[in-house]
Structure 1
Amino acid sequence: MQKTAENALARIRMLKQEKALKAETSTDIARDWDERLIRLKTTEHLLDLYVLFESFCKSVLDNLSIMEEQKKCPAEVKVAITSLIFAAPTCTKDVPELMTLRKIFEKKYGEKFVSEETNLQSPDCAVNLAMVMKLRYYYEEAAKIENRKLKANV
């Protein structure tokens, strides 16, 4: 688990730097002000997501000893773990280590934990809601940008 979390952290840091550099050039090629604004906002949300993922991975690494001692998910790291589990399927293309972490957590805490604690409708849900909103916004806006590209090429 430690190596996977460290690898995820390294990839997230790299993606943050890469995306920040691309953000400068992507607005230059935008066709109009609306598209430029959408690209900036989308990049901003993605960078915010990377910051959250980074803090969640750090939290997991900082609490490894507690996690190894306890069978149940420790309260100190519950938000980080459930948030990484929730984000993993959506972000597997960019950060595949999140899916590996999800599988590790699922094996350690059980499928019931994963399904109950990451269900946004559940009162026990511990997923970071700011992350959920940023994920939703980012992927909706990214789809809009892709649709504009397709329409422009037709």
Structure 2
Amino acid sequence: MGKKMDALLGKGFKTAKFKRLVELVSSRIAVLEKQHHLRCMQAQSDVVALLKLGHQESALLRVELVITEQNTLDAYSMTENFCNLLEERVVQLENNRECPDELKEAISSLIFAASKCGELQDLQKISGMFSKRFGKEFAANAVDLCNNCGVCPKIVSKLSTHRPNTERKLEMLKEIALANGIDLHRERDQDRSHTVTEEMKQDSKDCHEHRADRLSTEKKQDEKSQEQDMERRKYKNFKAAAQAACKLATHAAAAARAAVELSQDLDGDHDDPRKPTGDKHLTHFDDQPSKSGTSIQKDENSEIENGLERGKLHSKVIPTSSPKHEKMVTNSGGHLKED
């Protein structure tokens, strides 16, 4: 009765669809395994070539790709095995509404793998069928790796996105070296000796450079000290230093005097020859001491006499064409006589 109700409500497990999806997943895994296997083999060949050349550090980096591809191949193999197991026990899936304990690991692991493998789209459809059959909470616990989720720890590690640690890479490197007959210890010793040699060369080079810098610094210091000693020994005593200073001061004073005289000569050459003489006389007059009263009186008398002489000359020069002018001259002459 329960099966009929589930079939009517569309909640029944579709066995035919599940088997068809399992076949599609298996065929898809076969194609992907070939691709990843080629990548893994190519990476291993690169590691072997690097080991033969003695580049162990580069080989250690390249071996990381080998580990990643190998993990992917292991995860696909486990997924295919879980699918085949559930296909064989599909009857239990039809008869139980709850997840059987003996199939919990396979179902939870396929749900987890579907969330990590984007290349397997058909596996995601199978995960949707399990979620619809056993509940969304059951599927969410498997994806989130909750406690008692039942996911296989090995498939979790194979599908992890974390980079492999150094210990795992060294282990894989040893396996590849052993499979190809390469003495990893001898290569490591050679690489180490080469590294030590390079370090010794670098240390020697640094030592020489440091020594050259130190000698250059010491040479500069010696030259500086010699210059200071020469400055100290330039004068024998205090008296000699004082004489030298006095001599320098004399030369400086002579140079200053010559500069002053040269500036005065330049000022005299630039004077304007057309400058009125009155200013010069005024300047000369200001420079002379004040005259006495007698000298002043003599100057006044001399000016009067000069005025009289000018008057006589004027009377001779004026024409006599006018009677009025003659009368003025006569009056002027009579006046002079009276004086």
* Residue 131 of structure 1 pairs with residue 148 of structure 2: no
The aligned residue for residue 140 of structure 1 is 162
Written as runs of structure 1 = structure 2, the 5 A alignment for 1:74-153 is 74-92=100-118, 94-122=119-147, 124-136=148-160, 139-141=161-163
Sequence identity (%): 28
User: CA deviation digits over 1:84-126, x for unaligned, max 9?
Assistant: 111212112x21112111111111111122123554232x210
Matched residues in 1 for 2:70 and 2:78: separation? 12
Matched residues in 2 for 1:95 and 1:127: separation? 18
User: CA deviation digits over 1:51-77, x for unaligned, max 9?
Assistant: 111111111111112111211112232
Q: TM-score, normalised by structure 1?
A: 0.79
Matched letter for residue 137 of structure 2: K
Matched letter for residue 15 of structure 1: L
Structure 1 residue 133: Cα displacement? 1.3
* Residue 21 of structure 1 pairs with residue 38 of structure 2: yes
Q: TM-score, normalised by structure 2?
A: 0.38
Number of paired residues? 138
Matched residues in 2 for 1:53 and 1:118: separation? 15
Matched residues in 2 for 1:65 and 1:46: separation? 30
Matched residues in 1 for 2:100 and 2:27: separation? 24
The aligned residue for residue 54 of structure 1 is 80
Matched residues in 1 for 2:90 and 2:62: separation? 42
The aligned residue for residue 262 of structure 2 is none
User: Which runs of no fewer than 5 residues in structure 2 stay unpaired?
Assistant: 1-17, 51-57, 165-339
CA RMSD, Structure 1 to Structure 2 (Å): 2.1
- Tell whether the 8 Å contact from 1:13 to 1:54 is kept in structure 2 after alignment: no
User: Which runs of no fewer than 5 residues in structure 1 stay unpaired?
Assistant: 143-154
The structure showing larger relative contact order (alpha-carbon pairs under 8 Å, at least 6 residues apart) is: 1
Residues 117 and 89 of structure 1, relative CA distance in 2, 3 Å threshold:
closer
Matched residues in 1 for 2:128 and 2:95: separation? 19
The aligned residue for residue 61 of structure 2 is 35
